Amino acid sequence: MDDEGELKENNTKKGKAPLHSAQDLHAMLDVTLASLVILFKTGLKWNLVYKGEVHKDIQLLFFVPFIRCDTDEADKLCGSYTSRGKNVSQLCRYCMCPTDESDNEFVKFRKKMPAYIQKLVDKLDLVKLKELSQQCIENAFYKVQFGAHSVQGVHDACPIEMLHAMLLGIFATVRDTFFHQVGPKSALAIQLNILASEFGSLLSRQSDRDLPKTKFSGGIHRGKLMAKECTGIMLVLLVTIKSAKGQQMFKKQVHF
């Protein structure tokens, strides 16, 4: 047995959480946030000047409204798995939605609560934590005071961000899924891509940088997308689908 394996075994025998690389980050965050955590508990007295009048010994109470970070960072702060593989039980860091239900916007699942997850960590319930796609770590942000409007703590304080979640996430997936259903190498895909290129040229923004890019030399079907191009891709794809010519192409396909 190697040193790491032995250390994991010893920690488990002593009733401690098995070592995980994610714990390193939260150990450093715990030290960094220590003084802030104290401030959350004690508050701060301040002589507040308002409209020319001094209000003495005002008790100020602090909280964190939300955390500005990208998707990968948010998962790490929540102690969630960062993997997006098909064998991961849950992709969501907000609730207990199974991976195979992640595309169903009408279902509701239990929210992820710090108190509940911490109980599983204290009991070293690795099986249940794996079902939730949560790391068995002491989360530094479980000590942080978030807004009183939510009991989810850090799990509710990491909103989705535009770059990875929307542009390179949902938007890029919509394009790829659309052409997958059409048939990546089908005649329909080729015809739609040609039509999209024509619409893209007609919608071209010229020198107006406030409008999305719509003119793509190779069309919208293939190629790795840059984030700033995804909005234009969605616009051109929508116009193509809703156009009379596009509708005519679809009507020739039985499954559409």
Give me the tens of pLDDT residue by residue for the chain, a chain 256 residues long: 433 443 444 454 445 656 778 899 999 999 999 999 999 999 999 999 999 999 999 999 999 999 999 889 999 999 999 988 888 999 999 999 999 998 888 889 999 999 999 999 999 999 999 999 999 999 999 999 998 888 899 999 998 888 888 888 888 889 988 999 888 888 888 999 999 999 988 888 777 778 888 888 778 887 777 888 889 899 999 999 999 999 988 887 777 6
CA atoms of 196 and 182, how far apart (whole Å): 14
**Cα→Cα distances 69→20, 59, 101, 154, 170, Å:** 22, 30, 25, 12, 18
Same domain, 123 and 152: yes
Same domain, 108 and 11: yes
pLDDT in the model for residue 170? 87
In a domain, 127, yes or no: yes
Domain boundary among 87, 122, 156: 156
Same domain, 91 and 128: yes
pLDDT in the model for residue 222? 75
In a domain, 46, yes or no: no
Structure tokens at 256: 């559409």
Return the amino acid letter for 207: S
In a domain, 53, yes or no: no
CA atoms of 144 and 114, how far apart (whole Å): 11
Same domain, 74 and 175: no
Same domain, 133 and 221: no
pLDDT in the model for residue 5? 44
Of the candidates 140, 161, 116, the one whose C-alpha atom is nearest the C-alpha of residue 64 is 140
On whether the CB atoms of residues 192 and 246 are closer than 8 A, the answer is: yes
Q: What is the pTM of this model?
A: 0.72
Interior CA angle at 211 toward 210 and 215, to 5°? 140
pLDDT in the model for residue 17? 58
Alpha helices in 79-171 (DSSP H): 114-122, 126-131
- Domain carrying residue 213: 162-251
Structure tokens at 7: 């250390």
In a domain, 43, yes or no: no
In a domain, 37, yes or no: no
Same domain, 181 and 148: no
